[in-house]
Structure formats: structure tokens, C-alpha cells
Amino acid sequence: MLFSPMLDDRNDSASAVKFEGIEVWDRNDNERAWRALLWEERSRSRVKGVVSEYSVLGRAEWLGGEEEGMPKGVYLDVGSTDTLRDEGVEFARRLLRDGVQCELHVWPGACHGFDLLCPGAEISWVWAGGGGGEGFGRCVG
């Protein structure tokens, strides 16, 4: 299950650019998170800044199937106003291309972390009451 996942350290998708400077998770927060996650790998790389596709799934050429370590199915969701929206949608497209079953849900009007930021909002109740949980069951069941 991938909920608004960070998948690509290049941080250059249309949604990353469009939502830069918003009060929630934006392109700058994303860049800081990737720097923290990858600083050691980037510093040890023979080619400056190059990282493994195992560290950054958005860079993987082939997402294969179970023989490549991928699960039978993946549930992935993002908000329509999430900085990470486009990399999530692109990842889902690539999973399907490579034969991995994938359920993608784009939550209308939702930002990154909407379920935690606004737990009482109707969309958060819908998500908690079945959207995310049911998707998980379909992918692993």
C-alpha cells in the first residue's frame, strides 16, 4: 500500500512545480526529505549524485512482477492537490505497463496527508472507512 508516496528524487513533476510554496508538503519539503534519505548514498556514489533505483523506485527501469520482488498487486493513492500526485500516477502507470496489478485512487481536492491534517473531514472519513482499507484487501487478497 502506497499512500502519497515519495517515489522520485528528481522532484520535477508538474504537480511538484505547481504546488510549490503551499502550506502543506511542498517541493521544498520533498527535496529536504530526499536529501536526508539519500545523503550517504549520494556521497559514496562514484558518479556525483547518482543513486540506486532500489533507493528511488521512480528511477527503476523495470518494475517486473513477483520474480523482481514486486507484490502481486499494489494499492496507491494520492490527493489531486498533492505535490506527489504526478509521480504517484506515473508510478501506477508503469506498474501496469510492467504487468503488476495496480489500483490507483486520486482523491479529489485532497492535499498531502489530508487524512491526518483534517481527520474530521468527509473525505478523510470516506478514506478511513473503505477507500484505503478496501484497496489494500483487493491487492493482497
Return the half-sphere exposure (C-beta side, CA atoms, 13 A cut-off) of residue 1. 11
pLDDT of residue 90: 97
**What is the C-alpha separation between 121 and 125, in angstroms, rounded?**
6
Rounded to a whole number, what is the distance in angstroms from the first to the last CA of the chain? 13
**What is the C-alpha separation between 10 and 53, in angstroms, rounded?**
12
Burial class of 38 by CB neighbour count within 10 A (0 to 12, 13 to 18, 19+): middle
Give the Cβ contact number of residue 113 at 10 Å.
14
Q: What is the pLDDT of residues 86-118, one digit of tens each?
A: 999 999 999 999 988 999 999 999 999 999 999
Provide the whole-model pTM. Answer: 0.84
Q: What is the pLDDT of residues 15-51, one digit of tens each?
A: 999 999 998 999 999 999 999 999 877 767 666 667 7
Domains parsed from the chain with CATH numbers:
2-140 (3.40.50.1820)
